[in-house]
Amino acid sequence: MNANGQHGQGRPGRDGARQVVWAVVASDIGPLLLAATDEGLVSVVFHATDEIRDKAVERLGSRLGAEPVEAPGSPLLAEPVRQLSAYFAGERHDFELPLDWSLISGFNRQVLRELTTVPYGAVVGYGDLARRVGQPGAAQAVGMAMGANPLPVVVPCHRVVESDGGIGGFGGGVETKRRLLALEGVLPQPLF
């Protein structure tokens, strides 16, 4: 995974403006909105119904300073779509994608970059992750960083759990978190 955290303001597209493309793709956890810039994958949004999709696209446009364009066939989205499909099929354990970190900064970016080192099939506690970034008393702040993660699944916030063994919260909903952890073999697969 390209988790070097480097980003600029994005390279200009053909018209001189930053290019932002998006598409909604099917997954085992429901429709996902994927958005990318010339720098890399910039956003993954759960439960991408029409209403959620419209709000996410509007928010992306205002935060990135460019009008997002629906482009399911874009080469910028081809590899993220392929790798996510392979992940949900159980054929891929690590993402090797360029990431555009421009939607996150400071402590949150530091925590999320560290999170990319937690391997498939493993979990880490909020407090453990806080210690890994040199902020041992910041477990709650780590939780806030997980909630602000613009790249869930690819930057695996579902792998962060409570120290007492609880599953913890999740921006995509606890059931989605359970399904991702079951896919990775951390939890048993649901019976139905």
**What is the bridge-based pairing of β-strands 32-37 and 41-45?**
antiparallel
Burial 43-78 (b: 16+ CB within 10 A, else e): bbbbbbeeeebeebbeebbeebebebeebeebebbe
- Residues marked active site are found at 157
> How much of the chain, in percent, has pLDDT values that exceed 70?
89
pLDDT higher than 70, residue 4: no
Residues 87-123 have pLDDT tens digits of 999 999 999 999 999 999 999 999 999 999 999 999 9
pLDDT higher than 70, residue 35: yes
Q: Give me the sign of the Cα torsion angle 28, 30, 31, 35.
A: negative
Entry pTM: 0.88
Q: Which two tokens stand for residue 10?
A: 């994005």
